[in-house]
Structure 1
Amino acid sequence: MRSLPTAVTGLPAEVRRISFRFSGNGHYATCLAAYGRDRLMPELWDLTGPTPRPRLSPTRDGETSWTLPLPTGDGDVLLCRHGRGSARLLLVVPAPDGTAAEEHELLTPRNRGLRLVAGIAPGTAALLFESGEEGRTTVWRVSGRAERPEPIAELTGVVGGGAWLDEDGRRLALARPEPGAGPTLVLDLATGVAAPLEGSADGEHLLMAAPRTGVMLTAARRDGTFRLGVRHRDDPAPTVFPERLNRVEGTVTPLTLDPGGRHLALSAVRRSRSHLVLHDLVADTTVETELGTLQPTARWTDGGLHLLHSAPDRPLGVVTLPDPLRPGAGLRAAAEEHPGRWVPARTVDYQGPAGPIEAVVYGDPATSEHVVLALHGGPEAAWHFGFEPLFQRMAAAGMAVVAPNQRGSTGYGAAHRDAIHDAWGGPDLADILHLGRTLADARGPGRHRPMLYGISYGAYLALLAAAAEPDRWARAAVVAPFLSGRKLYQDGPPSVRTLLDRLGGRVELDDALGPRDLARLAGRMRLPIMIVHGLQDSIIPVAHSRRLQAGLLAAGHPVEPVYLEIAGADHDPLASGDGHLVAGRLIDFLSEGAGPRTAGSSIRRGASLPA
């Protein structure tokens, strides 16, 4: 086996990892990682030893968040690089001394729609799916060597998923992502022919399979909800829907089957934490363990169960359960992942106007010099008990952080989640204002007032709170706000309009505060405000922040708002190549506390970030 670069020996607090994938044989995982001010680069995880071992594999120019990595079965990395108007497939061969890796360009397709599925057979590191504008998909076999991929099939329409049905890697099950597009397809790599999966029922979706034994996990809508089912590739018997499996509480995500297909690993999210559930599909019994946060990707091999795990004081990374079915078996993490390097957190239940509100809390909100009330995006989302680099930086700067899951958040039951349907900026705003008063009362006189931070929907909610009770807050820093649900419906992409329709985001409340339109409410926001927006935001148009800034200036805002656009950044500028600099500006702004900011220190539109 090829030797790997030198291990990372010191992980700074600013560590960010995205886009994890496992190799087909489960011996490796890879992601894109950024440490401190470094650019994103591939990070390869060797899973062949007793503990996972991460190794950086620097590329010449670094990567962007648009790059999609996939490890080969022998420790190299395939990269789909998506650029403006182009896409490329490359093979990256890590250098033994940790210097820049060898890069081999394998293919420059005509179309930008590229997707990789890990291969399991010798000579097939991956399959590349290239979706063309003419409604056809070309399938390429990627060998894992520095050679051009081989076209092996041409499919009509777009396909998704990818579950191998046999150990020799000949048959791959594929799904049609469009509703009503038809049953699961099986692509025969030897012939290049795709045909419907035998015995597949209408509306039944194949989720995963155990190639060694042919056990398949499916999902189908029954009685208005999706239920998990089990069948066998060679058995004509109908799908069985185990009762206990379908009674697991929480937001349930199937992760992976064991090699024999008897046991299924699932993630069940309840409140802010993940639970690892191991279900015996034969006996229909479960055992579970509470963990921090699990990502919806895992791999179960003969060497153990490999999970993507994080906690407030542990960055996202691969952990291994070497014997997952043994009671009390502990997680094994990389030797470099020492939790003591980062600030721990805890969960606190605050009393809200309509019941308890759980929050992830860093530091002491009552005695710290500054406290930040941090609001998540969504709105159908939640803060989880996992690693948040920005919160670590806030804590390192002496700030306490309170990250609540107010009404509208997921993980707390349907009533809590659905409370803001047709009422954006209603029950959730009441929760935030109540929390602001609670934090201020606990801090007592003579301390700085609480500050607000929010991203996306959380940015919108934070500025509504700033308008509703402007004297309650010291200042507010927001990322990618929108003006109102109605205006976002006019300007946003189809996916956002669908979400607004589903959640009632266009319904305008009209009470003492008035319509929930930030442009109309700009005159009520008298506190120092910082607005950050990615110039290439594909979800919330940057024009919304520009109009908000103009409204604040036109209203005679007593302190000129700090406004910053990030060139090349999408919806989350903190995840861009300049994310560490954006975080630094946010921290600097919040660290100024309640003091005014002079107009001359404002950051103008399109300003560059200093190194």
Structure 2
Amino acid sequence: MTVCAIEMTTTGPFTIAADGSYAARLAGNGEALYAERWTLAGPEPYAVPLPLAQPEEADSELLPLTDGRVLIHRRVAERHAFALLYPTGAAAGPRTGELQLGAVEPEEGRDVRVRLLPPSPDGRDAFALAVTDAGTTVWRVAGGRSGPERVARIPGRCSGGVWLDRVGRLLALDRELDGTTKAVAVDLVRGGEVSPLLQITEASDDRLLLADPDSGLLLIRSDAPGEPRLGWGVLGSSLPVRFPECLRLGDAHPFAVQPGQALMPETSGVALRLPDGGIGLWRPADRHLFRLGAPAGWLGGTGLWSPQGRLHLPYATPEVPCGIVGMSLPVSPPPPVRLDPVPPPPTRPIPLQQAPLR
């Protein structure tokens, strides 16, 4: 593994580009923080520090693009400023270039909360969510023609953010409106047109945590069963949402789904960050969860599945400041053979309702 040129002890959230080629995080000592880009596409990962003359604030957000540049979101007084960072490779040593992109300003004196959305599947654009008491705005903050561009205005307070396709057109958000939270689909090409996505019951809070466009697998958190539970469904399917007992895990959070499983959601691997800091590996076809210990220095509860079913986890330790460890989902044992088959106990499935996405 390649050792970084600047010693690092502090780590911020670790974000992986849509195609797995790059990643980015804040690194540094104490308040001397700087952006750091990881290259993941080669035979071994390596990290490139991107320091500037002034340290970054701890609440700055980073998002890697597939061309190797890193988008940074900074709060400057009441403004939310965006810029692209990149290594210049100067003869005197590594230097960091910076391209200012503009800022999102407060709306009519209202306090606005802005955060970056997950990397767009196209790898070129980047989007941010701006939430006020009056509603939610989706901004394109990189990849547009000039500066941040408003692409959608949505009534209600939105959170979350999950991409539903491979081109960066359909975005799922969890919208709080009239006292309940429901996942909705926002079409960024059709002027921010909003369609219902999840409504398990009329009064339930139904949030979308993760989606895989290849298989259509959806990972959901809902209180429809009587308490907040993890469940799974299939995008565009009339089959009900299932809440497996093995996913009754409290505040566990799914962070990666195996891609490339076209029309095979039941066989898609899912990785979860468990409340005790460990890792859970699960398939919808399985009736149990494989529990594994997390590697030392695991970064931010993140990782990336390969289409072949191998989970890659980033980690950083004093000995290995830039590392990736891989693990595979164990093969489930076959069910025992019964001489007298016992039918499964009756269940009361909860239907998944989804409006067609045009």
TM-score > 0.5 by shorter chain:
yes
CA 1:59–1:326 in structure 2 vs 1: closer, same or farther (change >3 Å)? farther
| CA–CA separation in structure 2 for the residues paired with 1:145 and 1:196 | 27
Structure with the larger strand share: 2
Q: 1:135: how far off?
A: 1.5
Higher RCO, Cα 8 Å, sep 6+: 2
What aligned pairs does 1:263-274 form with structure 2 within 5 A after superposition?
Answer: 263-270=269-276, 274=277
Counterpart selection for 1:25 from 19, 23, 32: 19
Q: 1:27: how far off?
A: 1.9
Q: 1:224: how far off?
A: 4.9
Does 2:55 match 1:62? yes
1:325 paired residue number: 329
> Does structure 2 retain, via aligned residues, the 8 Å contact 1:123–1:143?
no
Deviations 1:313-355 (A, max 9, x none): 668866331x52368xxxxxxxxxxxxxxxxxxxxxxxxxxxx
2:15 aligned counterpart, secondary structure: strand
1:66 aligned counterpart, secondary structure: coil
2:301 paired residue number: 296
Does 2:103 match 1:108? yes
CA 1:162–1:277 in structure 2 vs 1: closer, same or farther (change >3 Å)? same
Structure with the larger helix share: 1
1:236 paired residue number: 238
Amino acid at match of 2:274: A
What aligned pairs does 1:427-442 form with structure 2 within 5 A after superposition?
Answer: none
Length, aligned pairs only: 311
RMSD between superposed Cα atoms in Å:
3.0
Amino acid at match of 1:204: D
What aligned pairs does 1:123-522 form with structure 2 within 5 A after superposition?
Answer: 124-132=124-132, 135-144=134-143, 147-176=146-175, 180-191=179-190, 192-197=192-197, 200-201=200-201, 202-221=204-223, 224-246=226-248, 252-259=252-259, 260=261, 261=265, 262-270=268-276, 274-291=277-294, 292=296, 294=298, 295-302=300-307, 304-309=310-315, 319-321=324-326, 324-325=328-329
| CA–CA separation in structure 2 for the residues paired with 1:179 and 1:40 | 41
2:245 aligned counterpart, secondary structure: coil
CA 1:172–1:301 in structure 2 vs 1: closer, same or farther (change >3 Å)? farther
| CA–CA separation in structure 1 for the residues paired with 2:328 and 2:151 | 38
2:274 aligned counterpart, secondary structure: strand
CA 1:255–1:123 in structure 2 vs 1: closer, same or farther (change >3 Å)? closer
Deviations 1:247-275 (A, max 9, x none): x6x863322211135111112344xxx33
CA 1:126–1:60 in structure 2 vs 1: closer, same or farther (change >3 Å)? same
Counterpart selection for 1:40 from 21, 33, 50: 33
Amino acid at match of 1:42: A
> Does structure 1 retain, via aligned residues, the 8 Å contact 2:18–2:123?
no
Gaps spanning 5+ residues in structure 2: where?
A: 107-111, 332-358
> Does structure 1 retain, via aligned residues, the 8 Å contact 2:35–2:50?
yes
2:343 paired residue number: none
> Does structure 2 retain, via aligned residues, the 8 Å contact 1:135–1:157?
yes
CA 1:10–1:55 in structure 2 vs 1: closer, same or farther (change >3 Å)? closer
> Does structure 2 retain, via aligned residues, the 8 Å contact 1:123–1:144?
no
